[in-house]
A and B are shown apart, each in its own frame.
Chain A
Amino acid sequence: MFSELSKRLKKDKIARISLAIIILYFAVALFTQAGLLLPDFDKVNYTESYQPPSASHICGTDYLGRDVFSRILHGTRVAISVGIVSSFIAIPIGVLLGCISGFFGGKIDEFVVWLYTTLDSVPGLLLIMALSLVLGRGLYAVYLALGLTTWVSLCRLIRSEFIKHREREYVLAAKALGAGSLRQIFIHILPNVFHIVIINFSLRFVYAIQSEVILSYLGLGAQDMPSWGIMINDAKVELARGVWWQLTGATGAMFLLILAFNIFGDFLRDTLDPKLRGVE
């Protein structure tokens, strides 16, 4: 799988650039988290409030005279962390439930299908907003809300693949050789459907980042740290006063990251999905 990926990656220049952009954002998130990059993002300077972009502040300053560019880079931390943490909650739930319900069928399957159909009935954003409201405002609530609601599509895909694969000859052969259920699931079938997890991981980032920005914008997300949603919320009032740089900067940063994820997600799907590769 990975050799195929790197072979295709060598040919596809746009996918390579997208990957580079994603890595860059991850690096920025890591370095700002470690305090190595632009640690002065919270430095207030009232004499310099609402400065338009200049050589010393390439994205201008906000109402407290803080450097917008540093705050955008620190906003990356929130966006990336939401993507990663919510994935660490959702992917294990989705994969595990998908595996067991698809493999065993019967009562377990009925229960899992009931569970995700129920969750899926509640309009997505409404459920996420309700969850982060009852969990209390803050970033941890956003992690949990996104993690606990977004496993459904992955679970559904894994389940239907498992239903197909459990009757395949290679699985029957493993069973005939004495492999138990756990071995059949994790050693034999899961590696064959794992591309779904990778594709899902890159696509869910887009959803996670967009949701985080909307939740922070509504005051449910990040509280005392720079977030693109909060910056956009601040900027909505400032725009009438001609302060365009905070809005443009935050949306631009978000746009580039989501674009990169969209393109790279498509590339992953085209490369890894056996149906699109014409193998299956």
Chain B
Amino acid sequence: MLNYIIRRILYAIPILFGIILITFLLFNVVGGNPVYQMLGKHATQEQIKEFEHEYGFDKSLFIDFQALKNAEIIKTFDSQFVFFIKQVITFDFGRSYSSKQKITTMIADGIVPSLSLAVPSFIIGVIVALIIAFICAYYRNTLIDRFTVIASVLGMSISVLAYIIGGQYILAYKMGWLPISGYESGINAIPYLILPALIWIINSLGSDVRFFRTVILDEINQNYVRTAYAKGLSPQKTLFKHVLKNAMIPIITALVIVIPYLYTGSLLLENFFGIPGLGNMTINAIANSDFPVVKFMTFTGALIYVIFNTLSDILYSVVDPRVRLK
């Protein structure tokens, strides 16, 4: 067991290195030095120097060959890449270009609003989709089932933008049932969260129902279900006692993969409804070409994914010993 855990953690290290490399390539090599973009054409020499120093752009990318020639070992490796690794290890991501706030503080501030939208929406959405999928499976190949499948495909094909704009227009602007946008901290946030949560749920419902229904129907055709019928179990009992348990394995596997993505909330929903979460922050950063914020959001997102994946694999090995042997 311990052996497996250690192996699994060691396996995450090259992936983490890969993520650091990709973010670095993306923002430092491809993106390059955005000094003129940020300060304008008429920046003074001092301003440029100060800017480049703060964000490490005065260093060479990987290795300082000039210093290597002079045999200055420390200076040789004083590069942008090392600067970035240092930032990552100390979790000090520097400051945003536009707001000059510390990025770590921005992330810490954004996480609560993001999660308070994402977590309830995700849980309620999954439960509703599961209930509908079970109803479909119970009434399979009847009109109810057909109608739901068609509705799911139709729902999947509507753009999330249409849901957002339409939902805000009808429920908030026309009917006035819910606030159009905004946010307050604490318990007062609830009225502001209802509409985006509702849109989240409706938007994810189509594909969720379809996926869950397929999984349940796959399970229904298994031999043990036939055996259960043969020994005289009622269809309801078979469905809820036997099929439900077995169908949950692929369903939970699929859901676990999605959970790390929850931290960004929904980028578009947060932006549209003015919820000051991480998604909103990222979209604003993209609009302002605020590279460091986007860079560290990308990195943090990937980091959380890797940590979560490692944890869930370890948990799986606790539940299912077969995993350990692979």
Contact = CB atoms under 8 A, between A and B. Distances in A.
B112 interface: no
B311 interface: no
Interface string B150-175: 00011011111110011001000100
A114 B19 CA distance: 10
Interface in A115-143: 115, 117-119, 121-123, 125-127, 129-131, 133-135
Interface string B133-147: 000000000000000
A53 interface: no
Interface in A234-256: 235-236, 239-240, 247, 251, 254-255
Nearest to A209: B159
A112 interface: no
A6 to B, nearest CB: 23
A122 B162 contact: no
B294 A129 contact: yes
B267 A255 contact: no
Interface string B30-62: 110000000000000000000000000000000
Given A122-B301, A134-B291, A236-B165, A255 B18 contact: no
B124 interface: no
Contacts of B321: none
A251 B162 contact: yes
A123 B260 CA distance: 9
Interface in B1-48: 14-15, 18-19, 21-22, 26-27, 30-31
B159 A135 contact: no
Given A126-B282, A236-B165, A118 B157 contact: no
B165 A134 contact: no
Interface in B75-102: none
B298 to A, nearest CB: 5
B204 interface: no
B289 interface: yes
A97 interface: no
B305 A218 contact: no
Contacts of A236: 165
Nearest to A240: B173
A255 B157 CA distance: 5
A121 B19 contact: yes
A122 B303 CA distance: 8
Interface residues of B, number: 43
B267 A217 contact: no
B261 to A, nearest CB: 5
Given A135-B30, A218-B287, A251 B159 contact: yes
B298 A126 contact: yes
A219 B287 contact: yes
Interface stretch (A33-41, A67-75, A189-197, A258-266): A258-266
A146 interface: no
A226 to B, nearest CB: 16
Interface in B261-313: 261, 264, 267-268, 282-283, 286-287, 289, 291, 294-295, 297-298, 301-302, 305-306, 309
Contact of B165 (A129, A130, A131, A239): A239
Interface string B116-133: 000000000000000000
Contact of A121 (B154, B294, B305): B305
Contact of A129 (B159, B161, B286, B309): B286
Contacts of B22: 118-119, 122
Interface string A75-119: 000000000000000000000000000000000000000110111
Contacts of B294: 129-130, 133
Contacts of A258: 156-157, 159
Nearest to A252: B162
Contacts of B283: 218
Given A129-B286, A130-B26, A251-B159, A122 B264 contact: no
B301 A123 contact: yes
A114 B159 contact: no
25 contacts: A114-B15, A121-B309, A122-B298, A123-B298, A123-B301, A123-B302, A125-B267, A126-B264, A126-B267, A129-B267, A129-B294, A131-B26, A133-B289, A133-B291, A134-B291, A213-B159, A214-B160, A214-B161, A240-B173, A247-B162, A251-B161, A255-B157, A258-B157, A259-B157, A266-B153
Given A259-B154, A259-B157, 8 more contacts: A121-B309, A122-B301, A126-B264, A130-B298, A131-B26, A133-B291, A135-B30, A255-B159
List the 4 shortest-distance A-B pairs measured between CB atoms, nearest first: A118-B18, A134-B31, A259-B157, A251-B162
